[in-house]
Structure 1
Amino acid sequence: MLAELSASTRPLTGTELAERCGVTRQVVVHDVAILRAAGVNIISTPRGYWVQTVPSAQTTVLSVCHTPELTEVELMTLVDFGIEVVDVIVEHPLYGELRGQLHLSSRRDVELFLENVASSDALLLSSLTEGFHLHTVAAPTQGRLLEAIQALRARGIEVFEED
């Protein structure tokens, strides 16, 4: 299973891994837990599992605020500047920090994510905090990140770089 995940250039769903390894999806879930416990950095995203490698890009956290209607604009703007949206984080008054793994790095990734949102009737985490949320992002350069922040602000999205 680890060889399949490591060789893949995209996330693999539990069903795909089960078929490739000749096991059930439940075995995949169990084995992923064992691999994680052994220190393998396997990430679970809405598109499937993947092994996280050491990022070559600079990571930072952006503090963002916007309405749900601007979610597509926000995500497309970031990926258009070559920035990977690693996750989304909100501070919930009851549960504390809630984090969702995204790993969106292309327009197609964003389209699939938004299709999943629409088809699942799930709420965006930012809807729990009146639009305020954080994103861990991976940018190829600081200059590219600053350009993306300017573009987001020009599109009406409040954004602040966390220290």
Structure 2
Amino acid sequence: MEQQVKMPSAKRQQLIIQKLKESVQPISGSDFAKLTNVSRQVIVQDVSILKAKNEPIIATSQGYLYLNEQTDNKKQQVIACKHDASQTQEELYLIVDHGVTIKDVIVEHAVYGDITASIRVSNRKEADQFVKKIKATEASYLSALTNGVHLHTLEADSLVKIEAACRDLKKAGILI
């Protein structure tokens, strides 16, 4: 049986940047681990080192993304929502069905201040994956820290789409 050779860290980090720059879809740590014959935890450390070197890499629920400057024509708006965990999927659907991306979730913590997590959900499939991952890992939504109150940064190619999503969220009693 032939043993797989682990890729050296400098080469691995260079490969991570190259692959992320080439991809428009998130790439998981597990995928990078298989590609380089190391553990997922080693990839997590590599990404932390790259971030410390000011590489614009973000971790989403679907994997890692390299933030390119291609969002100049995108409109953004931060909205405030409140709901319980059972309404999360409905909230995500109401937003993405209008062609709007949910970039992140933000909660205000009494000790830590603002806690922001990138989620990058753009369609129903990604919404389903996000909810499924929360359930599978038995993780709590960040909004559990704030009795359901949270912010989202929304992004779309027009403010009209964001406004339409907000109208539907308001009708559902989710938008504050």
**Normalising by structure 2, what TM-score?**
0.83
> Mapping of 1:1-163 within 5 angstroms?
1-54=16-69, 55=71, 56-159=73-176
The structure with the largest alpha-carbon Rg is: 2
Alignment RMSD, CA only?
1.5
Kindly indicate whether structure 1 or structure 2 has the higher relative contact order, using CA contacts under 8 Å at least 6 residues apart: 1
Secondary structure at the counterpart of residue 11 of structure 1: coil
The structure where strand makes up a greater share of residues is 1
Shift of 1:91: 0.7
| Structure 1 gap segments, 5+ residues each | none
Q: 1:83, 1:145 within 8 Å by CA — same for their partners in 2?
A: yes
Aligned residues: 159
Paired AA for residue 101 in structure 2: E
Equivalent residue letter for 2:99: G
2-structure distance, mates of 1:91, 1:33: 24
Amino acid at match of 1:126: S
- Deviation at residue 136 of structure 1 after TM alignment: 1.0
Aligned-residue identity in percent: 34
Deviates more, 1:16-25 or 1:37-46: 16-25
The unaligned stretches of length 5 or more in structure 2 are 1-15
Moved over 4 A (4+): none
- Report the AA paired with residue 127 of structure 2: V
Is this contact kept in 1: 2:156–2:162, CA < 8 A?
yes
- Alignment TM-score, normalising by the size of structure 1: 0.89
